[in-house]
């Protein structure tokens, strides 16, 4: 990967509805514009996410999505209202940031939840996207959410029962088959006024997330729980908020509207052993997006590997002078 570099410009974008979205710019001010779209939702941007870009050839833009990272107000505060934090709001923030920074078209790079948000943005504003590099492809369909938070339990039944039982039975919703009710209950617990309740909910949620990636021998262990307490709580609040509402996306809309990506070159990079986001999601998208190339990484799961990093570098280097 390229060396870590520091931002030469940064600020907060006022969205006009009570949010200040943190952004920063690194690399060559006259280089090819590229936007890094982080995952989670709610994980925030990090310096490592820009190390796939050649800083001599790219103008690298990062931002913290609403209520996480250095954006304000922060979701770790249970008083922070998440009502105006939806996929539609984030797409609008990205477009507002593009205009604020004077970018005509930009490359989009990201993965996991970030891939869902990138697809939503690109399908809404295809004329503003030059290329896309997508890792760990997700489209946040209800079927994908059901798999991640219940279906994977076939491999880890004991751990899944612990995840389920993190919410008292009386407040789970409509019974054991009501997964949105379970996720919504976690969202309520993560917003509880009692810090002990919030902390336990965040621990129980990320314990399950870490279980899902626990078989990835080349990935990062405990990737979800290994973050400062405030950032951990913010991520769990935002994740449970989004996934209990199916990210406010009509079921299957991103795949159905993939024809809008025609003319945008894309590279989809997906781990063969991604248990939480199985490969068929990336396969379906590649078949529906005529200008996308699917790269299957044989030694990777959801959290990546050395080989996946090499594929990211190759894709971004390949687009740098385009």
Which residues are marked as active site? Answer: 112, 274, 302
Tokens of 151: 């279906």
Residue 222 backbone dihedrals phi, psi, to 5 degrees: 55, 40
Task: For residue 297, give the 3-state DSSP assignment.
Answer: strand
Do 167 and 133 form a contact (C-beta atoms < 8 A)? Answer: no
292 vs 259: CA distance, rounded Å: 11
Q: Please state, in angstroms and as integers, the Cα–Cα distance from residue 84 to each residue in 16, 88, 238, 298, following that order.
A: 11, 9, 11, 39
31 vs 57: CA distance, rounded Å: 5
32 vs 35: CA distance, rounded Å: 10
Do 229 and 206 form a contact (C-beta atoms < 8 A)? Answer: no
User: Please, what is the angle between helix 229-243 and helix 179-189, to 10°?
Assistant: 150
Q: Radius of gyration (Cα) for the chain, nearest Å?
A: 19
**Length of the chain in terms of residues written:** 322
227 vs 235: CA distance, rounded Å: 10
């Amino acid at each position: 990967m390229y060396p870590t570099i520091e931002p030469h410009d940064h600020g907060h974008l006022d969205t006009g509805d009570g949010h200040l979205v943190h952004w920063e710019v690194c690399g060559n001010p006259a280089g090819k514009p590229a936007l890094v779209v982080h995952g989670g939702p709610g994980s925030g941007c990090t310096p490592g996410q820009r190390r796939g870009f050649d800083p001599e050839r790219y103008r690298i833009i990062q931002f913290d999505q609403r209520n996480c990272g250095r954006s304000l107000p922060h979701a770790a505060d249970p008083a922070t209202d998440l009502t105006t934090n939806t996929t539609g709001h984030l797409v609008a923030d990205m477009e507002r940031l593009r205009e604020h920074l004077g970018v005509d078209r930009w490359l989009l790079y990201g993965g996991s939840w970030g891939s869902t948000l990138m697809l939503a943005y690109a399908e809404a504003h295809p004329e503003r996207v030059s290329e896309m590099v997508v890792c760990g492809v997700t489209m946040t369909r209800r079927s994908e959410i059901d798999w991640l938070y219940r279906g994977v339990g076939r491999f880890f039944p004991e751990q899944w029962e612990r995840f389920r039982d993190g919410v008292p039975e009386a407040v789970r919703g409509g019974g054991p088959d009501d997964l949105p009710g379970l996720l919504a209950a976690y969202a309520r617990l993560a917003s509880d006024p009692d810090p002990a309740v919030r902390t336990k909910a965040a621990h129980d949620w990320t314990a399950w997330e870490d279980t899902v990636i626990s078989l990835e021998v080349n990935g990062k262990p405990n990737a979800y729980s290994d973050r400062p307490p405030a950032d951990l709580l913010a991520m769990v609040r935002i994740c449970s908020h989004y996934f209990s509402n199916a990210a406010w996306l009509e079921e299957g809309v991103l795949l159905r509207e993939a024809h809008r990506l025609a003319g945008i070159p894309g590279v989809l990079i997906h781990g063969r052993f991604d248990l939480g986001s199985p490969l068929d999601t990336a396969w379906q998208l590649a078949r529906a997006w005529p200008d996308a190339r699917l790269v299957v990484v044989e030694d990777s799961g959801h959290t990546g590997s050395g080989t996946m990093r090499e594929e990211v570098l190759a894709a971004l280097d390949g687009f740098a002078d385009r």
